[in-house]
Amino acid sequence: MPPFGNNPPFISNGQLLNQQHPVIWTLVPYWVEGVTLKSDSYDLGPYKIELAEVFQELNLPWILQVVLPSTTASVIAQIVECAKTRPTLVFNLCDGYDEVGTPGLSVVKALEAEDLLFTGADVRYYETTCSKIEMKQLFQKSAVPTAVWEALPDHGPLTGLCERLGQPLFIKPSASSASYGIGLKSVVRNDEEATARRDELKQGEFGKLFANDIIYAEDFVDGPEFTVLLGGYWDDPDAIWTLPPAERIFDVSIPESERFLSYDRYWGYYKEESPPEGGRPFYSYRPAPLEQAKILFDIAKRAYIATWGYSYGRVDIRFNKRTNEYQVLEVNANCGLSGDAETSCGSILEMAGQRFPQLVEKILEQALARVRK
């Protein structure tokens, strides 16, 4: 595995890319709101410029393709036609929930059905990481440390919950992204608060997405938070690579009990919460201490393999001060990729002394290399 600290560039020499010189179809997920294209993660103008600079440096022909729920089939058909005449590789960034109109798993299924070569999660990895319940079960099966948890019934009082699991507890939806459904009321200290939060997630605005979802409770892990960006394939563990783990530092004005990625603060909406003082960012990153890096990578790698990690992902980990143990929060498949220093990926790359084109090249190269095996 790559060393920590003075980590050398993890890229290959580009031999496969230079030999095959594939056209790169870059798929970006969007939906239509009125007459406007909308995306959770990709501002089309700036991101198009960023990608153009990446592929110019890599000397690769590329196509930026916006994907809407209504256009997935036609987009895939175009790629299939392209692949008939020249080497083609799909750089798939679609990471949405099809149930609410943002392309995600449907795109991955279509790519697999046509046997196209693509980066990012395959169907199994995508489906697994869409369900935090399934992730928790796989963590336990593979002895990956994670907080104690319990799936909640859809109705009725949650009597004895805090007695069984302790408190405070975190009440979360199983299927959620970008911190949707996570707020200050997610942290509860008694059964009544837990019941109220469960019911809130099942009804009203949240109910549009979570009415049929499983809501669960887990121990609120109060301690430092880390994230690890890594890649490779679960069935080739020796080739899994990592960037040095990063510690997420929450602004000092935020109380310790509120230091987590809530939806309001993550997206800057502040409907129920207060922004950090002085306009400071909600959180920033710094390199994890070197003595912790090896431990964090080992845990992240085990979590990645346990969830059938495919291509790349980001693993979030917290240190539980009460149990003196690192515990995995979740594995994020198809996590956002960018060199922008305001993003998690960009911050991690900057701290590691790496550049975004190097990361893209590594991801493309390992997809090509896997096909050759």
Q: How far apart are CA 92 and CA 90, in angstroms?
A: 6
Task: State the pLDDT at residue 9.
Answer: 45
Cα atoms in the 13 Å half-sphere on the side-chain side of 123: 9
Task: State the pLDDT at residue 102.
Answer: 84
How many other β-carbons are positioned within 10 Å of the β-carbon of residue 345?
21
Q: How far apart are CA 217 and CA 335, in angstroms?
A: 24
Structure tokens at 32: 């239509």
Task: State the pLDDT at residue 16.
Answer: 67
Q: Which of 163, 305, 150 is nearest to 242 (CA)?
A: 305
Per-residue pLDDT of the chain (373 residues; tens, 9 = 90+): 343 333 444 545 566 677 778 999 999 988 777 767 666 666 667 888 999 999 999 999 999 999 998 899 999 999 999 999 999 999 999 988 887 778 999 999 999 999 999 999 999 999 999 999 999 999 999 999 999 999 999 999 999 999 999 999 999 999 876 667 788 899 999 999 999 999 999 997 887 788 889 999 999 998 999 999 999 999 999 999 999 999 999 888 888 878 777 766 666 666 666 777 777 887 899 999 888 999 999 999 999 999 999 999 999 999 999 899 999 999 999 999 999 988 899 999 999 999 999 999 999 999 998 875 5
Longest dimension (CA), the chain: 64
User: Could you give the angle at the alpha carbon of 305 between the alpha carbons of 355 and 338, nearest 5°?
Assistant: 20
Task: State the pLDDT at residue 46.
Answer: 85
Q: How far apart are CA 202 and CA 200, in angstroms?
A: 5
**Domains within the chain, CATH numbers bracketed:** 15-143+222-245+288-372 (3.30.470.20), 149-219 (3.30.1490)
Q: How many Å separate Cα 131 from the centre of its chain?
A: 12
What residue has token string 């590691």? Answer: 352
pTM across the whole model: 0.91
Task: State the pLDDT at residue 5.
Answer: 36
Task: State the pLDDT at residue 31.
Answer: 73
- Helical H segments across 245-331, by residue range: 263-267, 290-306
Structure tokens at 215: 């809501």
Q: How far apart are CA 136 and CA 133, in angstroms?
A: 5
Task: State the pLDDT at residue 132.
Answer: 94
Please provide residue 47's backbone torsions phi and psi, each rounded to the nearest 5 degrees: -70, -35
Q: How far apart are CA 36 and CA 34, in angstroms?
A: 6
Task: State the pLDDT at residue 158.
Answer: 96
Q: How many Å separate Cα 309 from the centre of its chain?
A: 12
Q: Which of 135, 70, 69, 127 is nearest to 102 (CA)?
A: 69
